[in-house]
Amino acid sequence: MRFLPVFLDLAGRDVILVGASEAIQNKCRLLLAARARVRWYAAPEDRASDGTVQVFARAPNESDLAGAALVVSAAGEPFDRQVSAWARARQIPVNVVDRPDLSSFIMPAIVDRGDVVVAVGTGGASPVLARRIRERIEALLPARIGEFATLLGRWRPRVTAKLKTFAEKRRFWESAVDGKIADAALSGRLTDAEALLAEALAGAAWDTGGSVAIVGAGPGDPDLLTLKALRAISDADIIFYDDLVTQGVLDRVRRDAERVFVGKRRGRPGIGQVEINRLVVEAARTGKRVVRLKGGDPFVFGRGGEELGHLRAAGIPTTVIPGITSALGCAAEAELPLTLRDVATRLTLLTGHLVEAGEVDWSGLADPATTIVVYMGLAAAANIRDGLIRAGRDPATPAAVLARGTWADSKSVVGRLDALPALAPRIGEGPALIIVGEVVRHSAPWLGASKLDEAVA
């Protein structure tokens, strides 16, 4: 991040504009909206001075910059360079339109909803991209969000006077922003919203005790987080996360939340489940909002059920937020339907640990209409092949190995069941799924398989 995003109070302060371009005229409108006093040099000939803008037909001198809070220039070379040098010498923030090399600040694309303002910047690299992002954000924000913010601002002193602790205030405002108060305000019923605020504050007795959310982070792509999961990690005080939670997902966590890594990988030492349980309970008992963040879905080979049972026994308020399990996310990326009418009518999920331990009854999986998905199954590829073929599954049954699904470096390899042990090593390190069944023939990797894949098959 080269430019630090900040919001400046320019009300009643002098800002220098230089140039007559359309870009400068747009900047003038923004500055007037921020209630700045504008001194405009080399202005358009048809622009006259008024109560908020002083217009000068001439170019500025260095002394004209005295007392300015900001300088914005689009006069063209070589004068832009001179204006930039003058401003920097006086330590005045300067923006030269479309010249980030001459600028000490940039003007972002702005979403203006009154007291709610969103600024989008690309470091000066692509103003058009910034505008496109702004347009998407504008489409998401409720039209009355600014009015709602103004209402909350009016009530802030009263809330601060009554609620003494940070935790109480935070819980109060979260209930206001997420509940029926917000519903009333955003639908235009501001009087009702104000009455609800008064009622809530009068009866405020906020539970500041800790709680735990067991959250599924999905297969890796942060865009596959559910909205409820995103809200949970945005509100958390502390996050306990596993190895399969990607950096992209962690980037969505509240910035000031504490992050504790509790993951482990096959063949490497890691923290035990008993210690994880102890840490999570301990954090909740100190009043923190805890998120136990797990790759995929916490209830599909994620020990979420075990952790939920421990938290119940400890009397900790707990919620479970599902995630897109790896089988669904990885198969969707590979365009591989796990069930398909007249092809596959049954789906079985297994874990490679059970396969390696010899705890799978393969006789129930020989039906060609059954799709089999094995989590963490790379080391068990030979056992999967041998068990299914002994049970009567056709050795030519299609099989796929999907590694690092939905990650930037995901890879898929397909072939026959009897070649499965040769397929597995070709996808590299990282989490992987093995899928066996006729549905693999309908996947993108199979339909676009390279000659090398066909040779392995």
Coil, strand or helix at 269: coil
DSSP bridge partners of 53: 38
| Cβ atoms of residues 310 and 258 within 8 Å | no
Catalytic site includes residue 207: no
Cβ contacts of 258 within 8 Å, gap of 6 or more: 237, 238, 239
Place of tokens 């001439």: 58
Q: What is the DSSP letter of 368?
A: T
| Cβ atoms of residues 18 and 59 within 8 Å | yes
Closest Cα partner for 171 from 5, 287, 87, 32?
287
Dihedral (CA of 181, 185, 191, 197) sign? positive
Query: Which is the catalytic residue, given 64, 237, 242, 297?
Result: 242
Q: What is the DSSP letter of 21?
A: S
Query: Which is the catalytic residue, given 169, 264, 386, 394?
Result: 264
d(CA 145, CA 115) in angstroms, rounded, equals 8
Closest Cα partner for 30 from 48, 18, 15?
15
Catalytic site includes residue 242: yes
Looking at this protein, which amino acid is placed at residue 216? G
DSSP bridge partners of 418: none
Cite the active site residues: 242, 264
